[in-house]
């Protein structure tokens, strides 16, 4: 992630089972949404709290192997609770386990290191926090200034170089006032491979990641602390890019986030195959996943919004970001959008203000009252939103639920961000090699197919029901059910 560019953007923003086919054998990470302890079902989280959470998250914006690499799952996803996605990764020799946040808005995998200043030692997520020590790993090596990976980081203004030590360092300063700095390390990412649902073997891949020695701001807080961040961005320092450059993994990943209270879903490296997928091209040369939103329709009628409001220019544009809880519309689009929704339901419900949010007291079926919304993108690709995709239930009055507009207004900045509120219950494919993003409405508790051509030009299909979940769930906090699993599957062969 280009630090300077993200700082400018963030300052402008309100801040805030499985069946799959792979070319070759897949590897898997599992992850899911988590929330601070004490906030559980029935608890009401104010939209202002979610906006604050989004603000912070916007700021942080091998050889081929056979089998499925199965990572244990922790936490749970709940769209009404302030949470994050995280998984466990094992680094070094002997391997040590770390909990890392999944973040599509940044590029580098980094973990806290021994002697880190300002790094939390406990977490409100009920997970043990650890510290990486390169001196305790027999396969670790520091990244020198002359290393090509250091040059990649320097190109994006993330890396620096200590002349006296010839050591490649980094410093990320974020728009929410937080930051991290440290140095780059090369070490093994250790993976457990499950073959045929029974045979288990261990494999590893050498990657470069950050070793954090200083953290400031929100990163120092313990309420939702993890050991680091796993960046899923497009830049060359991301783990995805590193594995892809070595021919280990495709330059593509997909997710399907379950919207119910049980949460969970799927996140895969590779493309989920679904007949109803539509694709829109990525705007080139952007640090984020920018797409060309052309118009918004309500009940089939295009709203009178100038398409230039959504255009990518400088730090303006439309961003798809699974790291954002809510969704955000540029000011010129927001007012028209909300007014049109209110007009469409005027004979059934009246809007009311609830702590600054536009809300509606519902006495009938939500889908029977509220209209269907369509976001229309370049490439003739429309994203259909049900009422649950633009409204959030906040509380109840007299036994009747109150639903509020989940979209928030970004004033005077020309920025639109489509977060989890919109992306849930959909397959979303990030095809970086093809420079496009695709989506399809989907039941994310169902199985999926992931297909990538092998070197022979054929697709191989693997039943992901082979993944052994019993062991992975034995130590999961909160007594999670299998339906809450959010899996990250990594394909091991790439054309």
| 3-57 pLDDT, tens digit each | 434 333 333 333 332 333 333 334 444 433 443 434 434 445 567 766 665 655 4
Strand stretches in 282-388, DSSP E: 290-291, 293-298, 301-302, 317-320, 327-330, 351-354, 357-361, 373-377, 381-385
Q: What is the pLDDT of residue 155?
A: 62
C-alpha span between 266 and 32 (Å, rounded): 9
Closest by CA position to 69, among listed 196, 203, 189, 187: 203
C-alpha span between 169 and 161 (Å, rounded): 6
> Which candidate in 103, 218, 389, 425 is catalytic?
103
| Whether 256 contacts 444, CB under 8 Å | yes
C-alpha span between 411 and 181 (Å, rounded): 32
Rounded-to-5 percentages of helix, strand, coil across the chain: 15, 40, 40
| Whether 393 contacts 80, CB under 8 Å | yes
Closest by CA position to 342, among listed 360, 328, 325: 360
C-alpha span between 214 and 172 (Å, rounded): 10
- Tokens 């391997």 belong to 95
| Catalytic annotation present for 103 | yes
Whole-angstrom CA distances from 306 to 13, 294, 407 are 20, 9, 19
| Predicted model pTM | 0.76
Q: What is the pLDDT of residue 399?
A: 81
Q: What is the pLDDT of residue 151?
A: 84
> What would the two tokens of residue 1 be?
């992630």
> Which candidate in 78, 227, 321, 431 is catalytic?
321
End-to-end Cα spacing for the chain: 26
* Max intra-chain CA distance, the chain: 73
Whole-angstrom CA distances from 381 to 278, 293, 376 are 6, 9, 6
Closest by CA position to 409, among listed 321, 330, 338, 337: 330
Q: What is the pLDDT of residue 307?
A: 92
C-alpha span between 294 and 154 (Å, rounded): 35
C-alpha span between 171 and 65 (Å, rounded): 34
> What would the two tokens of residue 198 be?
């029974």
Domains of the chain by range and CATH? 68-266 (2.40.70.10), 275-441 (2.40.70.10)
C-alpha span between 423 and 321 (Å, rounded): 9
**Is residue 467 helix, strand or coil?**
coil
| Catalytic annotation present for 321 | yes
Q: What is the pLDDT of residue 287?
A: 84
| Upstream peptide bond of 94 is cis (omega within 30 degrees of 0) | yes
Q: What is the pLDDT of residue 195?
A: 43
Which pLDDT tens digits describe the chain residue by residue (495 residues)? 434 343 333 333 333 323 333 333 344 444 334 434 344 344 455 677 666 656 554 544 433 434 333 333 233 334 445 456 677 788 999 999 999 887 777 888 999 999 999 899 999 888 899 999 999 999 999 999 988 888 887 666 677 887 778 899 998 876 567 889 999 999 998 765 434 434 455 667 889 999 999 999 989 999 889 999 888 888 888 888 887 787 767 788 888 877 776 666 777 767 788 999 999 999 998 888 999 999 999 999 999 999 999 999 888 899 998 777 789 999 999 999 999 999 999 999 989 988 888 999 998 889 999 999 999 999 999 999 999 999 988 878 878 899 999 999 988 888 999 988 898 889 999 899 999 999 999 998 887 776 654 333 333 333 333 333 333 322 222 222 222 222 233 222 222
C-alpha span between 113 and 463 (Å, rounded): 38
- What per-residue string of b and e applies to 80-114 under the rule 16 or more CB within 10 Å gives b? bbbbbbbbbbbbbeebbebbbbbbbbbbbbbbbbe
For 4, the enclosing helix (H) or strand (E) is: helix 3-12
C-alpha span between 390 and 368 (Å, rounded): 15
| Whether 269 contacts 452, CB under 8 Å | no
Q: What is the pLDDT of residue 220?
A: 93
pLDDT tens-digit readout, 249-280: 778 888 887 777 666 677 776 778 899 999 99
């Amino acid at each position: 992630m280009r630090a300077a560019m993200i700082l400018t953007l963030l300052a402008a923003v309100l801040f805030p089972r499985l069946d799959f086919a792979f070319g070759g054998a897949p590897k898997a990470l599992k992850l899911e949404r988590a929330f601070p302890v004490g906030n559980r079902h029935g608890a009401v989280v104010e939209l202002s709290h979610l906006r604050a959470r989004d603000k912070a998250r916007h700021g942080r914006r091998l050889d081929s192997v056979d089998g499925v690499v199965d990572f244990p799952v922790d936490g749970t996803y709940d769209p009404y609770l302030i949470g994050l996605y995280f998984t466990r990764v094992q680094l070094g020799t002997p391997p040590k386990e770390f909990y890392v946040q999944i973040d599509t808005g940044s590029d580098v995998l980094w973990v806290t290191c021994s002697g880190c200043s300002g790094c939390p030692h406990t977490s409100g997520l009920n997970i043990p926090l650890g510290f990486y020590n390169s001196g305790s790993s027999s396969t670790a090596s520091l990244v020198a200034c002359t290393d090509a990976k250091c040059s990649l980081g320097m190109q994006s203004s993330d890396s620096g170089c200590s002349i006296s030590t010839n050591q490649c360092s980094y410093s990320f300063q974020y728009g929410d006032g937080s930051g991290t700095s440290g140095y780059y390390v090369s070490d093994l990412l250790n993976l457990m491979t499950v073959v045929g649902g029974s045979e288990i073997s261990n494999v590893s891949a050498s990657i470069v990641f950050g070793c954090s020695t200083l953290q400031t701001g929100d990163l120092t807080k313990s309420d939702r602390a993890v050991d680091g961040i796993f960046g899923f961005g497009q830049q060359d320092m991301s783990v995805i890019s590193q594995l892809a450059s070595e021919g280990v993994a495709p330059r593509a990943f997909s997710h399907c986030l379950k919207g119910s209270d049980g949460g969970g879903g799927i996140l895969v490296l590779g493309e989920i195959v679904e007949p109803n997928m539509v694709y829109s091209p990525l705007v080139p040369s952007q640090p984020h996943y920018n797409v060309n939103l052309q118009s918004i329709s309500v009940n089939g009628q295009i709203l009178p919004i100038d398409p230039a409001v959504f255009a990518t220019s400088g730090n303006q544009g439309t961003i798809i970001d699974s790291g954002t809880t809510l969704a955000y519309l540029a000011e010129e689009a927001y007012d028209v959008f909300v007014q049109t929704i209110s007009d469409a339901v005027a004979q059934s419900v009246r809007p009311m203000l609830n702590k600054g949010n536009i809300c509606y007291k519902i006495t009938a079926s939500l889908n029977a009252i509220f209209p269907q919304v369509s976001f229309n993108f370049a490439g003739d690709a429309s994203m259909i939103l049900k009422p649950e995709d633009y409204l959030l239930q906040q509380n109840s009055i007299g036994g009747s639920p109150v639903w509020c507009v989940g979209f928030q207004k970004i004033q005077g900045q020309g920025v639109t961000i489509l977060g989890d509120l919109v992306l849930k219950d959909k397959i979303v494919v990030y095809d970086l090699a093809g420079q496009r993003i695709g989506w399809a409405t989907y039941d994310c508790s169902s199985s999926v197919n992931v297909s990538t051509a092998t070197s022979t030009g054929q697709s191989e299909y693997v039943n992901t029901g082979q993944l052994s979940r019993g062991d992975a769930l034995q130590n999961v906090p909160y007594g999670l059910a299998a339906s809450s699993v959010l899996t990250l599957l990594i394909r091991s062969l790439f054309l």
